[in-house]
Amino acid sequence: MNMISGLMNSNRQGRLPAWIALPALLAALLLGGCISFEGGPKPEFREVLLQGSGNDKFLLIDIDGPITNNPMLIPNVGVLPGMTARVRQELELAYDDSNIRGILLRINSPGGTLTDSDIIYHSLMEFKRTKKVKIIASMGDIAASGAVYIAMAADEIYAHPTTITGSIGVILPHMEFSGLMEKLGIKSDPVTTGPYKDIGSEFRPPTKEERRLIQEMIDSQFQHFLTVVKKGRPRMSGQEVEKMADGRIITAQEAQKRGLIDQVGYLDNAYKRLTDLAGFPEASLVRYANSWMTGSNIYSNTFPIEFFEF
């Protein structure tokens, strides 16, 4: 996972920054206290019916692309809000709807930042606890690293027969250019207030002590990741979770065999299971959107877009 990214080279849409400053890694991981979904102005999203009928409803939420709260600019059109903000907005709307009976969490992501993954996971867990509803996750092409982290909020996890998942782990990307700089006759000579202020500098190799400090931090974040997976997969022993948490990616079939997911199946199978698990076999499936229409079936995106006004 990327506090960093599990599969950072999968940044297909340019929504992840090329690097993440080290101080950001030291930010608080957990949101203190409980999330309140009450109060505040509500986003101007509207409900789109995807299938079914009746007052009882299930909400489709997308985790698609790199997990980050960075908005994505669409030139000459508008901007997509960051994933963390969008998911939170959708949950706020769903919180005020007494007819929401559960969430279908559709995941297609290579991973993302540790903090954003944790915020989305934490928000889903609080929503589930507060509303007393069920969540089923359905994995698409890829659900790796931070996507696995978020999936742990689900009561059950489905994966498409061709899904690639796993990549449980933490990485801090680091490049070092001191050899090139020496050839070019360039020298870095920073003035700092302490011996570790320029830790992680790309202009010199890290010292043994600096590497030890960074490794301790990464290991601490990794243990938190493991704790979330162990909580979300109670049928797996701690040793089973740790054995597969070496960064490897695995197929859906292997993930089911190891207990990381519950079933190999299609999105429709996951939705049918959600309706049965929640006890509302006859209900509507909806998503939230605003002015950007992306279709009206179970495979439609939930992304809203804010248009520029010229």
166-181 per-position pLDDT tens digit:
999 999 888 999 999 8
Predicted pLDDT of residue 289: 80
Residue range 44-169+236-307 forms a domain whose CATH class is alpha beta
More confident residue, 306 or 226: 226
188 belongs to the catalytic site = no
User: How do beta strands 164-166 and 249-251 pair?
Assistant: antiparallel
Q: Phi/psi of residue 149, each to 5°?
A: -55, -50
In terms of average pLDDT, the best of 72-86, 147-161, 176-190 is: 147-161
The active-site residue, picked from 36, 42, 187, 197, is 197
Predicted pLDDT of residue 73: 79
Among 282, 280, 287, 284, which residue's Cα sits nearest to residue 304? 287
pTM of the shown model: 0.82
More confident residue, 32 or 292: 292
Question: Alpha-carbon distance 200 to 217, whole Å?
Answer: 13
Collapsed DSSP state (helix, strand, coil) of residue 95 = helix
pLDDT average, residue stretch 208-226: 95
Q: Is the pLDDT reported for residue 18 higher than 50?
A: no
* Mean pLDDT taken over the chain: 84
Residue 11: pLDDT band (50, 70, 90) is very low
pLDDT average, residue stretch 29-55: 63
> Which of 42-51, 86-95, 176-185, 230-239 is least confident?
42-51
Predicted pLDDT of residue 19: 30
Predicted pLDDT of residue 72: 78
Residue 77: pLDDT band (50, 70, 90) is low
Q: Is the pLDDT reported for residue 8 higher than 60?
A: no
Residue pLDDT, tens place only, 238-294: 999 999 999 999 999 999 999 999 999 999 999 999 999 999 999 999 998 864 445
Q: Cα-Cα-Cα-Cα dihedral of 246, 136, 287, 79, to 10°?
A: -10
Residue 297: pLDDT band (50, 70, 90) is confident
Q: Is the pLDDT reported for residue 63 higher than 80?
A: yes
Q: Is the pLDDT reported for residue 130 higher than 70?
A: yes
The active-site residue, picked from 109, 138, 145, 167, is 145
Collapsed DSSP state (helix, strand, coil) of residue 24 = helix
> Which of 81-90, 116-125, 239-248 is least confident?
81-90
145 belongs to the catalytic site = yes
Percent of the chain with pLDDT over 90: 66
Q: Phi/psi of residue 129, each to 5°?
A: -70, -45
Q: Is the pLDDT reported for residue 307 higher than 80?
A: no
254-to-158, 266, 270, 284 alpha-carbon distances in Å? 13, 16, 18, 33
pLDDT average, residue stretch 134-141: 98
